[in-house]
């Protein structure tokens, strides 16, 4: 009997999503406008509880693009970005004709290293250019070193664009991720902790910026009876149908976080006495991780028979269980290899040893048993 696939992270509906979609049909707001959008934005604003303004968009990639525009990034400007991340964190820098400068991770949070960050800023300034923005990431839902990074950014007066795509529900000292940037973004792609099938949001500190985003995201139409444009616009709004899914998903967000964290606990106990395999866990008691994905580091010098991350990935694939190596650092990508990089080999080593494991909130006891058996077969 062939067993069904266990996914890394698949959509998990809460049950009320269709009611909001029905509402959109009943009122005929099958458009990038309607009450699902304003209510979804309101739900997110309430959840963040920092008097910030949320604008729903078509994706986090679009949100980062508009965020960089609001931060006035122009062709040939320099933008600093964490290297160990998904390409969507960095691609909007190139959309704008700006130059990405990549920075290494530190080993505790796997995110931006404050020392390498300062080195990158000083070296860029010494070459006659001050970076326009710093793109920070909370990888796999683990908060970066919030205070250290903010201190460096403030010292050089460079704004932070916080890529919180993976970290909805994570936090630091009781404050939610998505509120630490000068501008922040979330993703609601199908594989994220909640989904709108595809979508994103941008978080700003004032209403004027929200209005500017809404203007740019809806083709930058000037006030006129005809269509008139004095600025370059984009078609980046979220659909009222997708926002309906989002409203339903917001009702189960906290439950999803609890379940993702339970998956993390499951792996911690599974690998407790297994030499050479460590589960990525926040060391900082002030940090709260949603553990969007649980990842392990595999050290072949210590594992049984020198098993490495690729042996594990293939063995699990054989049991129809999806795993994925960590994000390949941007400075090692063919597309980005000629741009500056500051740091050592932290991100590179994490990439070589790291593997993300099935982490969805919809995994069952049966799924966990299959995962456990696959590892036992391999390691004992």
Ligand X SMILES: *Cc1c(COP(=O)(O)O)cnc(C)c1O
Would you tell me which residues interact with ligand X (CB under 6 A)?
Answer: 59-61, 85-86, 88-89, 137, 163, 165-166, 187, 189, 200
Q: How far apart are CA 170 and CA 290, in angstroms?
A: 5
Which is nearer to ligand X, 263 or 326 (by Cβ)?
326
Which is nearer to ligand X, 68 or 378 (by Cβ)?
68
Q: Which helix (H) or strand (E) element contains residue 109?
A: none
Which is nearer to ligand X, 71 or 374 (by Cβ)?
71
Is the CB of residue 131 less than 8 Å from the CB of residue 124?
yes
CB of 356 to ligand X, least distance (A): 11
Residue 264: Cβ within 10 Å count? 23
CA quadruple 28, 32, 35, 40: dihedral, nearest 10: 140
Selecting among 132, 145, 192, 210, the annotated active-site residue is 192
CB of 92 to ligand X, least distance (A): 9
Q: How far apart are CA 149 and CA 160, in angstroms?
A: 9
CB of 86 to ligand X, least distance (A): 4
3-state secondary structure 314-350: HHHHHCCECCEECCCCHHHCCCCCCCCEECCCHHHHH
CB of 85 to ligand X, least distance (A): 5
Q: How far apart are CA 147 and CA 225, in angstroms?
A: 49
Chain centre to alpha carbon of residue 226: 39
Residue found by looking up tokens 């986090």 in the block: 60
Residue found by looking up tokens 């839902």 in the block: 141
- Closest-CA residue to 260 (of 75, 73, 32, 10): 10
Name 135's bridge partners.
Answer: 81, 161
Tokens of 212: 């500017």
CB of 241 to ligand X, least distance (A): 16
Which is nearer to ligand X, 135 or 312 (by Cβ)?
135
CB of 58 to ligand X, least distance (A): 8
Q: How far apart are CA 274 and CA 202, in angstroms?
A: 42
Q: How far apart are CA 73 and CA 243, in angstroms?
A: 29
Which is nearer to ligand X, 203 or 307 (by Cβ)?
203
Q: How far apart are CA 228 and CA 233, in angstroms?
A: 11
CB of 166 to ligand X, least distance (A): 5
Q: How far apart are CA 40 and CA 33, in angstroms?
A: 12
Which is nearer to ligand X, 187 or 204 (by Cβ)?
187
Which is nearer to ligand X, 61 or 356 (by Cβ)?
61
Q: How far apart are CA 103 and CA 89, in angstroms?
A: 13
Q: Answer yes or no: 192 catalytic.
A: yes
| Rg, Å, the chain Cα set | 21
Catalytic residues: 192
């Amino acid at each position: 009997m062939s067993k069904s696939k266990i996914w890394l992270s698949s959509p998990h509906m809460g049950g009320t999503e269709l009611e909001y979609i029905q509402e959109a049909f009943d009122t005929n707001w099958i458009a990038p406008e309607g009450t699902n959008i304003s209510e979804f934005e309101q739900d997110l604003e309430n959840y963040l509880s920092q008097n910030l303004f949320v604008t729903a968009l078509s994706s986090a990639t679009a949100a980062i693009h508009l965020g960089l525009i609001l931060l006035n990034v122009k062709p040939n400007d320099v933008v600093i970005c964490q290297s160990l991340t998904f390409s969507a964190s960095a691609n909007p820098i190139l959309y704008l004709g700006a130059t990405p400068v990549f920075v290494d991770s530190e080993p505790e949070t796997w995110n931006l290293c404050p020392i390498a960050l300062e080195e990158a800023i000083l070296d860029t300034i010494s070459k006659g250019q001050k970076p326009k923005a710093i793109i920070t990431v909370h990888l796999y839902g683990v908060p970066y070193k919030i205070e250290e990074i903010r201190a460096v950014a403030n010292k050089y007066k460079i704004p932070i664009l916080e890529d919180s795509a993976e970290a909805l529900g994570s936090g630091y000292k009781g404050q939610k991720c998505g509120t630490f940037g000068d501008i922040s973004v979330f993703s609601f792609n199908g594989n994220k902790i909640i989904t709108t099938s595809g979508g994103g949001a941008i978080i700003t500190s004032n209403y004027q910026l929200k209005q500017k985003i809404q203007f740019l995201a809806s083709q930058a139409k000037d006030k006129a009876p005809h269509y008139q444009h004095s600025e370059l616009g984009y078609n980046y709004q979220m659909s009222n149908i997708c926002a309906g899914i989002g409203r339903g998903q917001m009702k189960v967000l906290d439950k999803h976080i609890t379940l993702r964290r339970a998956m993390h606990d499951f792996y911690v106990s599974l690998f407790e006495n297994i030499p050479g395999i460590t589960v990525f866990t926040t060391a900082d008691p002030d940090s709260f991780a949603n553990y969007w994905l649980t990842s392990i580091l595999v050290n072949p010098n210590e594992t049984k028979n020198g098993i490495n991350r690729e042996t594990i990935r293939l063995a699990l694939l054989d049991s129809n269980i999806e795993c994925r190596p960590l994000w390949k650092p941007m400075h090692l990508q063919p597309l980005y290899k000629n741009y500056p990089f500051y740091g050592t080999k932290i991100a590179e080593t994490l990439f070589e040893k790291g593997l993300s494991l099935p982490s969805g909130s919809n995994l069952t006891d049966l799924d966990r048993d299959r995962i456990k058996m696959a590892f036992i077969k391999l390691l004992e």
